[in-house]
Amino acid sequence: MIRFLLKGLLRDKSRSRIPVIVVAIGVMLTIMLHAYIKGVMGDIVEMNARFSDGHVKVMTKVYADNISQMPNDLALLESDELTGQLEKDFPDMEWAQRIRFGGLIDVPDENGDTKTQGPTMGLGLSLLAPGTREPERLNLMKSLLRGKMPSQKGEILISEEFSEKLAVNPGDRVTLIGSTMNGSMAIYNFIISGTISFGTEVLDRGTIIADIGDVRDALDMPDASGEILGFLKTGFYNEEAALLDAEKFNASHRPGTDEFAPVMNTLSEQGSMGQYVNLSNNLANYIAAVFVFAMSLVLWNAGLLGGLRRYGEVGVRLAMGEEKRHVYMTLIYESVMIGLAGSAAGTVFGLFFSWLVQKYGIDISGLLKSTSIMMPTVLRTHITKLDFYLGFIPGLLSTVIGTMLSGIGIYRRQTARLFKELEA
């Protein structure tokens, strides 16, 4: 019977073409919206990961316990060797060394005396190393407002608001006054190569970015790093994968009584980021559930109307002596076939278009007044495992339920009245 019904659907396009197209479009929109919401909500997590937390972060145990103080005297030693080992043991991640520091920026006048000063929070990362992905990861090129990117040692980027406060411009010389890794005073001269926008008031007040080599020289930290950040090569934070890597690393580097032993923490284990991750996941699922429910109502009505349109056909079949149960079951079987075909087609197209947006993105930089580090300029979707079967919920179940409800009327029809209906 299944083969007979399938042939009927293929030969009678009016019974299959429109319903399949409607289901396919509904499923495609459901998948694309869910992937889009996951991508947009995940951008908040990803921007924090790229700037400060990473998907995982390797630090000394005592540094992790006092991370809010940026204690560079507790930094990782021989960090280049450790980074090489991490790249070997965890090839699914990209690794980047970072140094966070604080201090005072002094601006001299023409006589070398102090003209202006301001407290600063600095970030040392790989800007000059061949093949480095740090500028791209932090969106530095697009966030550049004036000047140029650092191209040689001794050059730094400074926030635009901070540069206005200090009355400095690209090309001016400034002096960093701070503390070395060993606790002595650090005085180091920099040249401002450009100004950038972070998009966050706290960072825009007084943040500088320098090459990690210069920061090591300034703070007397040869081959040392405060943090080593790991980023999954998939481009998205995966809690399960990050936890597995962290457990593997911590199992092989048991700190014991050595407070300077390295430890690896995942993004969700750092500060309040765990709450942000859970919030973004739950909110995305709630929004998707509302849309799935709305789309289910649409496809439910489509199945209901499809069954009502065939009321005359049902009457003829009953008048010819076909059992009511058999007519009812054939309608359900047909709706299952239509739902499966439409859901499969909609899933394929939905995943395809979502993949295009995930890979290439939608550039919205032209809609923004000014690009900033903490504001994504390219919108991307994020395809998850749920997207491979999510569309079958409204596509198959709603279509079948709509047909089942419309088919209930079959059992209420009286054979004696069929001839009057057919004559009309």
Q: How many CA atoms lie within 13 A of 198 on its CB side?
A: 24
pLDDT for position 127: 92
For residue 243, is pLDDT > 60?
yes
For residues 341-360, give the mean pLDDT: 90
For residue 227, is pLDDT > 90?
yes
Question: pLDDT tens digits for 264-320?
Answer: 998 888 776 666 677 767 777 777 777 777 777 776 666 566 655 665 666 666 667
Percent of the chain with pLDDT over 70: 80
Cα–Cα distance between 159 and 157 in angstroms, integer? 7
Q: Which helix (H) or strand (E) holds 105?
A: strand 93-108
pLDDT for position 403: 74
Say if residues 231 and 55 touch (Cβ distance below 8 Å). Answer: yes
Q: Using 50, 70 and 90 to split pLDDT, how confident is the model at 328?
A: confident
For residue 39, is pLDDT > 60?
yes
pLDDT for position 313: 66
pLDDT for position 419: 52
Question: pLDDT tens digits for 64-83?
Answer: 888 878 888 899 999 999 99
For residue 423, is pLDDT > 80?
no
pLDDT for position 107: 92
Phi, psi of 172 (to 5 degrees): -80, 155
Question: pLDDT tens digits for 122-169?
Answer: 999 999 998 899 988 888 888 888 999 999 999 999 999 999 999 999
pLDDT for position 363: 72
For residue 255, is pLDDT > 80?
no
For residues 47-57, give the mean pLDDT: 85
Phi, psi of 371 (to 5 degrees): -80, 145
In whole angstroms, what separates CA 83 from the centre of its chain?
A: 25
pLDDT for position 297: 72
For residue 365, is pLDDT > 80?
no
pLDDT for position 201: 81
Out of 25-39, 175-189, 218-232, 275-289, pick the least confident: 275-289
Out of 185-194, 223-232, 374-383, pick the least confident: 374-383
For residue 341, is pLDDT > 70?
yes
- Residue spans per domain, the chain: 2-46+276-423, 56-236
For residue 261, is pLDDT > 60?
yes
115: tokens are: 């003209």
CA dihedral 297→299→304→306, nearest 10 degrees, is 160
pLDDT for position 295: 72
pLDDT for position 149: 93
DSSP string spanning 267-297?
Answer: GGGSTTHHHHHHHHHHHHHHHHHHHHHHHHH
Residue bearing tokens 């950040």: 229
Beta bridge partners of 144: 196
For residue 15, is pLDDT > 70?
no
pLDDT for position 158: 94
Residue bearing tokens 């701070």: 178
For residue 234, is pLDDT > 80?
yes
Question: pLDDT tens digits for 201-225?
Answer: 888 888 999 999 999 999 999 989 9
More confident residue, 131 or 371: 131
What's the pTM value of the predicted model, to 2 decimals?
A: 0.73
In whole angstroms, what separates CA 290 from the centre of its chain?
A: 21
pLDDT for position 418: 54
Q: Using 50, 70 and 90 to split pLDDT, how confident is the model at 7?
A: low
Q: 78: helix, coil or strand? A: coil
419: tokens are: 């001839």
pLDDT for position 350: 92
Cα–Cα distance between 145 and 127 in angstroms, integer? 17
Q: Which helix (H) or strand (E) holds 314?
A: helix 311-319
Is the dihedral angle over the CA atoms 366, 368, 370, 371 positive or is it negative? Answer: negative
Q: Using 50, 70 and 90 to split pLDDT, how confident is the model at 253?
A: confident
pLDDT for position 290: 77
Q: 187: helix, coil or strand? A: strand
